[in-house]
Structures are given as structure tokens and as C-alpha cells.
Amino acid sequence: MVVSPKPEGRRERKKRETRERILQVAAQMFAQDGFDAVTVESLAEAADISKPTLFNYFPSKMAILQALVPEVDQRFANAIERFRLEGGSVSRQLGRFFEFGGSQTRKTPKLTRSLLVLALRGYEDTDLKPTQHRWPLMRGSFEALLSDGVARGEVRSDISIERLTHYITSVYVYGLLNWLADPQYSVETELAIASQFLGSAVAAERALSPTASAVAGAL
């Protein structure tokens, strides 16, 4: 017997809509003015609610930024899935994603900076959940992309898909961190070069030496 979900009541609907409005307004303001420049008061005013009401939904401005991560994670995962559906080699799909990531950095630099700082804080702040800075949906989509490549005999199988995904995301994040430290850093150019390197590095004809394979297997 299938039990139908309980219909959303008026109160629950209004709470959900208010929360969504706060996040939508916050994303726009963080992207336009930067996280530090936006005040809780200005957020509440833009969302057409009182400051106490805002705190009923989020205990701090940082909590609002944290709540934006799943949406951004989903957006990037959707991009990877779109590139998978478009087909082409794994190298080409990686290139498309890195190009997409670079363009997003250019379009919303202030929001990207805020999310990067949040990600860095996540590694030292015990109050942040691991999923709030490890982008699980994006990683899952990368793993699916690589699995397709392994099945086609295009991607090396001597290193686990999980580890290959870790290497790819690490190179991607490193490029963004260089840009975070130096606004003049050409992140789109460097990401394009990095994607070419990664496409070659994950290719099936490459393999670890016996010693390196033993080390990788022990990790």
C-alpha cells in the first residue's frame, strides 16, 4: 500500500516560501555586493521581513551562505550531467566543465569568493558538516562521468574512480584558490590548461608503476 505524502499546509507553505525568498535575495546580494558588504538588516529589508523573522530561519549570515551551497552544488552537478548527455570523450567533457566553472567565476566573482572562503573554513570549523564543503553532488557526477569512461575503455582502471575524482576536483579547486589569492590570475586560461592535463592523466593507456600501484592500493 502506497501512502500519499501529507499535503503541505498553509503555514508550512508560507514558511517554505519565506525561506526560499531569503536565499534567493541573499544569493543576488552576495553576488552583487559580496558577502562582507551585505548586512543582516539589508537582507531582511530586501526579503521584506523583519530582522527577528530572518533569525527565526537562519541564526547568522554565515548560515545563509551555508544554505546556498546545496543549490550551487546541484547547479554544477547538472552541468556535468549535461556534458555527459552531450557525449564526446571524457577529456572533452572535463574541458567543458572546467570552461563552465571558469565562466561562473567570471559571472559571479563575489559569490564565488564567498563560497571558497566558506569551503576553507569548513575544514577547520567543527560546526560545519562535511557535506557543506565537499560538494557531494558534483563529486557524484564526476564519478559517473569517469565510470562511463572506464566502461568504454577510455579511462584508466588502475586507480579507483573515487581517487581520480579527488584528483580532478583538487586541481579544479587549486585553480580557484590561486584566483582567490590573486584577482589578476587568469582562472579561465589556467582551468583550460588544467583540463587538458587531466584528460591526458586519466587516459586508459597510462598506468602506475608496480611500486606506485602498491602505494595507491595501501591508501
Give the model confidence (pLDDT) of 42-81 as tens digits. Answer: 999 999 999 999 999 999 999 999 899 898 999 999 999 9
Q: Are residues 98 and 191 in the same domain?
A: yes
For the domain that residue 138 is a member of, what is the CATH number? 1.10.357.10
CB-count burial class (<10 Å; 0-12, 13-18, 19+) for 20: exposed
164 and 80 assigned to the same domain: yes
Same domain, 18 and 110: no
Q: Give the residues across from 203 on adjacent strands.
A: 155
| Span 2-44, pLDDT tens digits | 555 667 788 888 999 999 999 999 999 999 999 999 999 999 9
Q: Does any domain span residue 88?
A: yes
Q: How many domains does the chain have?
A: 2
Tens of pLDDT, residues 118-171: 877 766 665 555 555 568 999 999 999 999 999 999 999 999 999 999 999 999
Based on the fold, state whether residues 116 and 149 are members of the same structural domain: yes
Written as one letter, the residue type at 203 is: A
Residue 2 lies in a domain: no
Residue 214 has what pLDDT? 47
Exposed (0-12), middle (13-18) or buried (19+): which is 17, by Cβ within 10 Å? Answer: exposed
The verdict on residue 1 lying in a domain is no
Considering the domain architecture, whether residues 162 and 108 belong to the same structural domain is answered as: yes
**Same-domain pairing of 113 and 99:** yes
Are residue 98 and residue 199 in the same domain, yes or no? yes
- Same domain (yes/no): 89, 50: no
Domain that holds residue 100: 65-218
Tell how far CA 103 is from the center of its chain: 14
CATH, residue 55: 1.10.10.60
Same domain, 22 and 119: no
Q: Answer with the one of 44, 59, 74 that is the final residue of a domain.
A: 59
Say whether both 150 and 186 belong to one domain: yes
The 10s digit of each residue's pLDDT in 173-213 is 999 999 999 978 899 999 999 999 999 999 997 555 554 45
Same domain, 44 and 109: no
Residue 55 lies in a domain: yes
Identify whether 128 is part of a domain: yes
Q: Tell me, yes or no, whether 135 and 190 share the same domain.
A: yes
Please tell me the distance from the alpha carbon of residue 144 to that of residue 75, in angstroms, as a whole number: 16
